[in-house]
Amino acid sequence: MSDVPHTVSGMQQWRADPLPLFDVPDWLRVIGVFDLETTGVDVASDRIVTAHVGLLDASGAVLSARDWLADPGVEIPEGAAAIHGITTAHAREHGRFAADVIVEVVAALRGLLDAGIPVVAYNAPYDFSLLKHEALRHRIDPIVDPFPVIDPLVVDKAYDRWRRGKRTLSVVAEHYAVRLDGAHEASADAVAAGRVAQALGERYAAWLPDTAQELHTRQIAWARAQAASLTEYFIQIGRLDPDDRLDGSWPIR
């Protein structure tokens, strides 16, 4: 496990109270967590501003954590800065060269995945796809098939399909009584997503598969079906043309 990130100087530790120890599946007892904050929502063209990779134990407490601030090399739009709080000036003064950050984020994630530790990422296709395109942009060997991954957004929709309301991380965290301080900070969002995954594991333990690998496989089908259902709804309300389709690829596009 030498590739797993350890707590060193400069790594931000999460201070929120950990969740109580629930009867979660064994594969949720040590999980990786991953989140990005970026210049925008286009996974092919937007850039990483901040990143977080960490490890949680079965209670949701942080075992190790690492944060990165990158100078994306482009202007950070005011709308994006208003969400995550990082301006172009701040990133240029304090951020590291983007390629160096991406090398380290890829290595940290690859270390977890190679060790068989499931990585939780909320709306995983966004974060993993954007990281892939950033790696390719900087001629870094990308992660093209992350496995195993847990996406609380997909799992929540699968097990509680008909619940009304938004499915943003902040809303879903509140629904499962998971504390989220500092939403839209990569570290806060990553840890909250991990704790939501554990809350889902506790609530739906009787229906979850025995392994993270099997859950990964099921999420591929669930995500495809969810995209198809949302496509039909958007066509009905006129938000999509009848020939358009949402991409249901998971966990990376």
Question: What's the average model confidence in pLDDT over 101-130?
Answer: 98
In a domain, 89, yes or no: yes
Element (H, E) at 54: strand 48-56
Q: Which of 162, 181, 160 is nearest to 170 (CA)?
A: 181
CATH number (domain holding residue 53): 3.30.420.10
As a whole number, mean pLDDT of residues 30-58 equals: 98
Q: Report CA-CA distances (Å) from 147 to 115, 130, 226.
A: 10, 16, 20
Sign of CA dihedral 98, 180, 118, 213: negative
Mean predicted confidence (pLDDT) in 203-217? 96
Measured CA to CA, the distance from residue 225 to residue 219 in angstroms comes to 10
Which pair of structure tokens corresponds to residue 175? 């629904």
Q: pLDDT at residue 173 above 80?
A: yes
Residue 2 lies in a domain: no
Q: Is residue 165 part of a domain?
A: yes
User: What pLDDT does residue 114 have?
Assistant: 97
Mind spelling out the 3-state secondary structure of 139-202?
CCCCCCCCCCEECHHHHHHHHCCCCCCCCCHHHHHHHCCCCCCCCCCHHHHHHHHHHHHHHHHH
Least confident of 9-13, 142-146, 187-191, 237-241: 9-13
Q: What is the per-residue pLDDT for 183?
A: 81
* pLDDT value at 231 more than 50: yes
Looking at residue 184, its pLDDT comes to 87
Within a domain: 18: no
Confidence class for position 23, pLDDT limits 50, 70, 90: low
At residue 108 the predicted structure's pLDDT band, cuts being 50, 70 and 90, is: very high
| Length reported for the chain | 253
pLDDT, residue 5, reads 35
Report the pLDDT averaged over residues 21-32: 81
pLDDT at 4 > cutoff 70:
no
DSSP 208: S
Residue 120 belongs to domain spanning: 26-236
What is the pLDDT confidence band of residue 40, given thresholds at 50, 70 and 90? very high
In the predicted model, is pLDDT for residue 244 greater than 90? yes
Confidence of residue 9 (pLDDT cuts 50, 70, 90): very low
Residue 241 within any structural domain of the chain: no
User: Within a domain: residue 3?
Assistant: no
Residue 71 in any domain: the answer is yes
17 in a domain, yes or no?
A: no
Mean pLDDT on 89-113 = 98
The total of structural domains in the chain comes to 1
Distances (CA, A) of 65 to 32, 94, 108, 158: 9, 19, 10, 29
pLDDT band at 18 (very low <50, low <70, confident <90, very high): very low
